[in-house]
Amino acid sequence: MSELLNKKWRLTSFQTIILGFAGVILLGALLLMLPISSKSGVVTPFNETLFTATSSACVTGLIVQDTGTYWSSFGQAVIIILIQIGGLGVVTVAAAFALLSGKKISFMQRSTMQEAISAPKVGGIVRMTGFILKATFIIELIGALVMMPVFCKDYGVRGIWMAVFHSISAFCNAGFDIMGTPDSLYPSLTSYVANPVINIAIMLLIIVGGLGFLTWDDIRTNKYHLKSYRMQSKVILVTTLLLIVLPALFFFFEFSDMPIGERILSAFFQSVTPRTAGFNTVNLAAMSGAAQAIMIILMLIGGSPGSTAGGMKTTTFAVMIANAFAIFRREKDAQLFGRRIDCGIIKHAATVMVMYITLFFGGAMVISVVENLPMSVCLYETASAVGTVGLTLGITPELGIVSQIILISLMFLGRVGTLTLIYAVLSSSKNTNTSKLPQEKITVG
């Protein structure tokens, strides 16, 4: 009987990931409710702390209270810890504690770690996790040291904490900042629009964090021998480069009223940050409708698999583009870098894309109706939430409970992955029917 119960209640990898994130968010929300978490010493309402904790753990950056002016040092510490856990992944952080304590990691735990970092196989997963943890803290430390002189010059000793906070937030693609002033809820890094050190440091942290842990491993192992890289790493690097350069060219003309140096920095920064960091150095609401539409597309695409970034992923986008080109050329198989893409991968990518677009549009429509807001503004907000970006046109603090719950759900789904949630729910149901239904053609397009 006990064996039966153990089998019944044994969690799958997907369920562990889902419950792990949910548990961390709930704990974070309760800690942020404590009077010590706010500068004024008041108890923050649960809906606001839940929103903040979800945004932190899901490395999004949407806020209902300004991080720099509302939360105390303790509250900011809770937020940055949630961001670090969310960026690395709950399972990776748990594995780190297990490794430090010298505990033996079971096969089931290794399998869960594999799912958490999107590794292709279980073998070597412990070594990979150790590499991820070391590389993460080294990169974040370098980022903090680079930005520290600038922040210390402007804020004194507090600049040390600001450098550390923004380095972790940028690497984890979270977009949280503590630059806030009482009269401005979304200053982000607008005061450093012309500062090359802050701009370049933040951009590099975002890019490196969004490349994915397997791509890091490829770069470390094969260095400059690009031909030896996995096809996935090649796809990620090329797609990332194109998604930075092409939008930056458009934004360069968008910011035509800026000096040339500031213009170049702003163009590249606004091209990098939507995937999926959430910092900004310009007034987003003042950008043209076309520029905002490009940012929505970038937010939905997001970063790469097994990275600190969210979104439907660069590989999903690349596979769908490759499949479209194969159809245009009347070729049987989609190809990337001389390799055929499995039909199952294409179906998986199409499913992810459809689910993200459905959540993006569905959430925006509900918020638009409930809040009586323009659809364009709501689309920007839901793209930011489901892509775990954090960019906003400024409507978040004004939203009601229903709209906040929708954004919380989108942030959670965007971080853990829509398919992960479905697999977690349906893991116990197995389709043992091997028979096939009759096939019939249907005209599409």
DSSP letters, 70-100, are: TB-HHHHHHHHHHHHHHHH-HHHHHHHHHHH
pLDDT computed for residue 439 by the predictor: 76
Give dist(CA 270, CA 396) in Å, integer.
20
Residue 364: pLDDT over 80: yes
Q: Quick one: average pLDDT of 108-131?
A: 66
Q: What is the pLDDT of residues 390-437, one digit of tens each?
A: 898 888 888 999 999 999 999 988 887 655 555 555 555 555 555 677
- Find out whether 47 and 83 touch, Cβ atoms under 8 Å: no
pLDDT at 443 (0 to 100): 66
What is the pLDDT, as a whole number, of residue 227?
85
Q: Decide if 196 is inside a domain.
A: yes
Residue-level pLDDT at 270: 94
Which structure tokens are listed for 230? 């996995």
Average pLDDT over every residue of 258-285: 91
CA atoms within 13 A on the CB side of 9: 5
The answer to whether residue 444 is domain-embedded is: no
What's the pLDDT score for residue 180? 72
Question: Shortest CA distance to 151 belongs to which of 189, 205, 208?
Answer: 189
Taking the chain, what is the end-to-end CA distance rounded to the nearest angstrom? 55
| 431: in domain | no
Predicted local confidence at residue 139, as pLDDT = 94
What confidence tens digit (pLDDT) does each residue in 53-93 have?
999 998 888 889 889 889 999 999 999 999 998 888 765 66
Q: Residue 262: CA atoms inside 13 Å, Cβ hemisphere, count?
A: 12
pLDDT of residue 288: 92
pLDDT in tens, 190-239: 889 999 999 999 999 999 998 988 888 888 888 888 888 989 899 999 99
Is residue 441 a part of any domain in this protein? no
Tell me the C-alpha distance between 334 and 342, whole Å.
8
Region of residue 188 (left: phi > 0; alpha: psi -120 to 50; beta: else): left
In a domain, 445, yes or no: no
Q: Which two tokens stand for residue 28?
A: 């974070």
Q: Is the confidence at residue 4, as pLDDT, over 50?
A: no
429 domain residue, yes or no:
no
Handedness of CA 20, 26, 27, 32 (dihedral sign): positive
Q: Could you tell me where the DSSP H helices lie in 255-342? A: 260-272, 289-301, 314-328
Q: Whole-model pTM above 0.85? A: yes
The pLDDT, as a whole number, for residue 89 is: 75
Instruction: Look at 104 and 415; give whichever has higher pLDDT.
Output: 415
Comparing CA positions, the residue from 420, 421, 392 lying closest to residue 407 is 392
Task: Answer yes or no: are the C-beta atoms of 370 and 392 closer than 8 Å.
Answer: no
Q: Report the distance separating Cα 202 and Cα 146, nearest Å.
A: 10
- Whether 1 is in a domain gets the answer no
pLDDT tens per residue, range 134-188: 889 999 999 999 999 999 999 999 999 999 999 999 999 898 999 876 555 567 8
Report the pLDDT value the prediction gives residue 341, as an integer from 0 to 100. Answer: 92
| Predicted local confidence at residue 30, as pLDDT | 96
Instruction: Give residue-wise pLDDT tens across range 10-42.
Output: 666 667 777 888 899 999 999 999 999 999 999
Domain count, the chain: 1
Q: Which range marks the domain in which residue 299 is found?
A: 11-424
- Whether 35 is in a domain gets the answer yes
